[in-house]
Amino acid sequence: MVVLQPFDSIRKVRIKFVDQEVTTSTLSVEDFDLLKSLSMYPNPSSNNVYFELKNILFDKITITIFDISGRKVKQITSNKNIIKIGTQSLTSGIYFAKIKRDSNNSIVTKKLIIK
């Protein structure tokens, strides 16, 4: 059985299955603008990962890296168009990078692989 319930804001919906729960978001116009202006490379990465933001000038961006269990392992805030994050301290595996544009609270999450 699937039940859809509003969650936290207009942009999020909680989906309940029989024994598990998933929270998902829909893309707003601001989220889509951030998504199309963002490049993350190299992926997979072993030393550094770069986040490049095109057409977003002088805007504060917060990048948070989470491991597969949801534990925050790194966070950086910058207003540069190219943001470098060292990944040498991360063990090999799958991570998620949450990129938040502070001016309008738009958020994009990307999968990051560390080799």
* Residue 66: CB atoms within 10 Å: 17
Q: Where residue 45 falls among pLDDT bands split at 50, 70, 90?
A: very high
Q: Which of 9-13, 94-98, 101-105, 111-115 has the lowest mean pLDDT?
A: 9-13
Domains of the chain, first to last? 27-114 (2.60.40.3080)
* Per-residue pLDDT at 93 exceeds 50: yes
User: What is the reported pLDDT for 13?
Assistant: 53
Rounded to whole angstroms, the Cα distance separating 82 from 56 reads 11
Q: What is the pLDDT of residues 2-44, one digit of tens each?
A: 455 555 555 555 554 444 444 445 555 555 566 677 889 999 9
Name which of 52, 64, 40, 35 is nearest 113 in CA terms. 40
Work out the burial of residue 11: count CB atoms within 10 Å of its CB; fewer than 13 is exposed, 13-18 middle, 19 or more buried. Answer: middle
What is the pTM assigned to this prediction? 0.70
User: What is the reported pLDDT for 35?
Assistant: 66
User: What is the reported pLDDT for 34?
Assistant: 63
Q: Which of 15-19, 31-35, 57-61, 81-85 has the lowest mean pLDDT?
A: 15-19
Q: What is the mean pLDDT of residues 82-103?
A: 92
